[in-house]
Amino acid sequence: MDQSHIRNFCIIAHIDHGKSTLADRLLEYTGTISKREMAEQVLDQMDLEREKGITIKAQAVRMRYTAKDGKDYELNLIDTPGHVDFSYEVSRSLAACEGALLVVDATQGIEAQTLANLYLAVEADLAIIPVINKIDLPSAEPEKVAKEIEDVIGLPGEEVVLASAKEGIGTQDILEAVVRQVPPPRGSTSNTLRALVFDSKYDAYKGVIAYVRVMDGTISRNDRIRMMQTESTTDVLEVGYFSPTLVAVNQLTAGEVGYIATGWKTVKDCQVGDTVTLSAAPATEPLAGYRPAKPMVYAGIFPIEGDDYPLLRDALDRLKLNDASLVYEPESSVALGFGFRCGFLGLLHMEIIQERLEREYGLDILMTAPSVEYRITRTNGETLFIHNPAELPPPTEIEQIEEPMMDISIFTPARYIGTIMDLVASHRGVFRDMKYIEEDRVHLTYRMPLGEMIVDFYDQLKSRTQGYASLDYTFADYEPSKLVKLDILVNGQSVDALSMMIHQDKAQSQGRALTERLKELIPRQLFEVPIQAAIGSHIIARETVKAMRKNVLAKCYGGDITRKRKLLEKQKEGKKRMKRVGSVEIPQEAFMAILSLGGE
């Protein structure tokens, strides 16, 4: 199709502000999909996505729309991930578009995540169409939200489209606004091919399917292509677009959004942000903005049963086929045996991987408390990165430890400022700025160590503000910090999987809190079990799990031996679910104890 009749756009929205429902209405209205075919929300295809109400993988769908001007348009809607862990993926999706719908809930107003993604969109020069959704709700305040949009973003209130995706109100207005306000793509079909990969997934029949936006040139079936970053090459098996199922076509030309079936076995060959070009006539410059996936959070994953190690490895290998941002390497723990040290984009990503391993692969796994990556300068001048406290060199060899710092942004009703200030201070956050965006809403910014954020910060923020505050963060820099390694000794034996990096000012209190918590979590054993927290050889806290005194069934009524046996079998099963460290049986929760220490 003529480029002037193509519109590529995405939707930016906070969780629960109605992005998926709105997308459904657009697909229905344009006849791309009938109501009958509509699974509840077509675009979110993974079960986990449905459950969590978020988009993890980006999707793209092509719609045909006859506008009021009588002309036919090709509208490509690119659905973007909605979580801060995936902001790089978001930026690549945005780079594939010329416009964005900014969807704001008429009862809630702008949230931190929305704003963060909106800034990304503005940076990418996208035309922004504000949509106020859920205007049918009794508590809707569209005028107030419109004013907020005007104040915060500078988009004039009169350009706002009022809608209710649930009731189907405003659907046509949105489509007309897309046609009118989103500029058609530029780029010449005669240039050498450059196509931006904004997502990829593995398909058992077609190999890796790259989701692309063609920026320049044309790509056809059987072309030999080359990825400009990973330098992988392949022959194109098929090109096509999403409707929303795959529809093969002969070629995709500049301005179009679609897919390339590559035949590759793993998405590693085809990473988000990479540029597709032709092997025979390669482009000189790749598209800007590529960044290799960079994990922010690390944790050990161990099979509960040592025999499951090969199964765990296979499962990670398979997840990796579809998730280039998942990294892992074998890890051997004295306490937990063989497992993997895994790197994740963030906590949500970590949680998703954990759940998929458990649900899709049926594995019983144990995850250690998450850690970040520290930069260590040795006394000999050498620097190294460690993401496992167990790898920290001896203190005498350390010149300096630096930790990753984040710029965080919080939107909150003004009444919670005090409680947030306290929370941030207890997490070593440093205040940067505070802006009133309206009488009762404040935008706070801080600089905070990532290591403090990954423990319980988000949960605490949500609970202390009754869920009203929203959070966004970006990596700022590495900064030197007075960190120490806190070791936990159980029955005199250091348990590597319980070691953690901690600021020295908090070591004493955290050491005490952690030993107290572990005392509650570790059941009484046949002998007394001391639990100690130590920094180096210095013990800073100690608790004792007393020896078990009584565990015996009293009666055997009327000779009901079967019931007795079943109770014993239950006790035996319970023991199996624990990890044996030395001669002490430690339940799984103990390894995550650090996460449940609560506030100060």
Partner 1 sequence: MNIEEPERQETLLDTISLYLHIPFCHAKCHYCDFNSYAGMLGLREQYVAALLDEIALAGERTRLPDGSPRRCRTIFFGGGTPSLLTAEQVAAILAASRAAFALDAEAEITLEANPGTLEYGHLDELYAAGVNRLSMGAQSFDAGLLRWMGRIHTPAEIETAFAAGRAAGFEQINLDFIYALPGQSLATWRETLTKAIALAPDHLSLYSLIVEEGTPLNTWVQQGRVRPADEDTAADMYELAEQMLADAGYGHYEISNWARAGHECQHNLTYWHNLPYLGLGAGAHGWYGAHRYSEARPIRDYIARVRETVRSAKTGDQTTALPALPAAAVVEDEAISHTLEMSETAFVGLRLSEGIDRRAFAARFGQDFEQVFGPRLTAVRAAGLLDESATHVRLSERGRLLGNEVFTCLLLEDEEAGATA
Stretch that binds partner 1, among 102-110, 464-472, 546-554, 590-598 (CB under 8 A): 546-554
| Cα distance between residue 549 and residue 355, in whole Å | 38
Q: How far is the CB of 528 from partner 1 (least distance, A)?
A: 11
Find the binder of partner 1 among 527, 536, 544, 577 (CB under 8 A): 527
307 binds partner 1 (CB under 8 A): no
| Cα distance between residue 119 and residue 133, in whole Å | 20
Residues 100-159 that bind partner 1 (CB under 8 A): none
Contact string 495-524 vs partner 1 (x = CB under 8 A):
-----------------------------x
Q: Nearer Cβ to partner 1, position 36 or 549?
A: 549
Q: Nearer Cβ to partner 1, position 288 or 554?
A: 554
Q: How far is the CB of 580 from partner 1 (least distance, A)?
A: 10
Q: How far is the CB of 512 from partner 1 (least distance, A)?
A: 23
Q: How far is the CB of 562 from partner 1 (least distance, A)?
A: 5
561 binds partner 1 (CB under 8 A): yes
Q: Nearer Cβ to partner 1, position 479 or 520?
A: 520
Going by C-alpha positions, the residue among 497, 518, 517, 499 that lies closest to residue 507 is 499
Could you tell me which residues come within 8 angstroms of residue 260 by beta carbon, excluding any fewer than 6 positions away? 195, 209, 210, 212, 219, 225, 236, 238, 239, 252, 276
Going by C-alpha positions, the residue among 109, 111, 123 that lies closest to residue 84 is 111
Q: How far is the CB of 559 from partner 1 (least distance, A)?
A: 5
Q: Nearer Cβ to partner 1, position 430 or 553?
A: 553
Q: Nearer Cβ to partner 1, position 38 or 568?
A: 568
Contact 60, 79 (CB under 8 A): yes
562 binds partner 1 (CB under 8 A): yes
| Cα distance between residue 272 and residue 89, in whole Å | 7
Going by C-alpha positions, the residue among 200, 213, 194, 343 that lies closest to residue 271 is 200
Q: How far is the CB of 525 from partner 1 (least distance, A)?
A: 9
577 binds partner 1 (CB under 8 A): no
**Total of residues contacting partner 1 (CB under 8 A):** 27
Contacts 24+ apart (CB under 8 A), 451-454: 451/371, 451/372, 451/403, 451/404, 451/501, 452/427, 452/428, 453/406, 453/408, 453/427, 454/297, 454/347, 454/370, 454/371, 454/372
492 binds partner 1 (CB under 8 A): no
How is residue 478 written in tokens?
């590495």
Find the binder of partner 1 among 180, 415, 435, 565 (CB under 8 A): 565
Query: Which H or E element spans position 353?
Result: helix 347-359
Identify any residues that bridge with 105 across adjacent strands, giving them in sequence order: 133
Q: Nearer Cβ to partner 1, position 189 or 525?
A: 525
Could you tell me which residues come within 8 angstroms of residue 563 by beta carbon, excluding any fewer than 6 positions away? none
Contact 298, 328 (CB under 8 A): no
Binding site for partner 1 (CB under 8 A): 524, 526-527, 546, 548-562, 564-565, 568-569, 571-572, 575, 583
